[in-house]
Amino acid sequence: MTTQFMDVDVRPILRAGGEPFGEIIAAVAKLQPGQGLRLLATFKPTPLFQVLGSKGFSYEAREIGGGDWEVLFTPGTAAGAAPARTTTATDDGAWPEPVQHMDNRDLDPPEPLVRILAATEAMARGEVLSALLCREPAFLLPELAKRGHAWHGGFEPDGKTYKILIRVGAAKQAA
């Protein structure tokens, strides 16, 4: 079966000094089962490889001239699968009370991810951050794992608010 690709050209956004992450993620959310994403960018978008890889996409990147890149994100068996509703942490010990609380429900992607990661950078190892979001942070979780943080998360009883607790550096302690 041949994969059909949705084209997303973020070169104009990048050349204007903008951040296309939100547009890329919105396009991924619109993909039909089995459909891939053809991304055109002014640089090799290496961070996206892991982000979309965690969603089950493989990639094939090639420079197309003038410093521009074409990347084909092809869905694997996990693409389009529903994300887990409850996330887990590798640190199962008792967690202290959060020292910082964030309400990111009114922010557009990728601002919640950026703010949460910036906040964790300023926190001490073992401290806990509590954050409220308007959706499951599918792209945040691989970044937390990469940085060695543990987390617990899930939807609140209202079904609209996702609450995540992040323990800074806890995954490294458990490893």
pLDDT given at position 174: 41
pTM of the predicted model as reported, rounded to 2 decimal places: 0.51
Residue in this structure with the two tokens 């910036």, named with its chain if needed: 118
Helix (H) or strand (E) holding 121: helix 111-121
Q: Measured between alpha carbons, how far is 153 from 136 in angstroms, rounded to an integer?
A: 8
Q: Cis bond leading into 110, ω under 30°?
A: yes
C-alpha atoms less than 13 angstroms from C-alpha of 31 in its C-beta half-sphere = 29
| Residue-level pLDDT, tens digit, the chain, 175 residues | 688 999 999 999 999 988 888 888 889 889 998 899 999 999 988 878 877 877 788 889 999 999 999 999 999 854 344 343 345 544 556 789 999 999 999 998 889 999 999 999 999 999 999 999 998 887 888 888 889 998 888 878 887 888 999 999 887 544 3
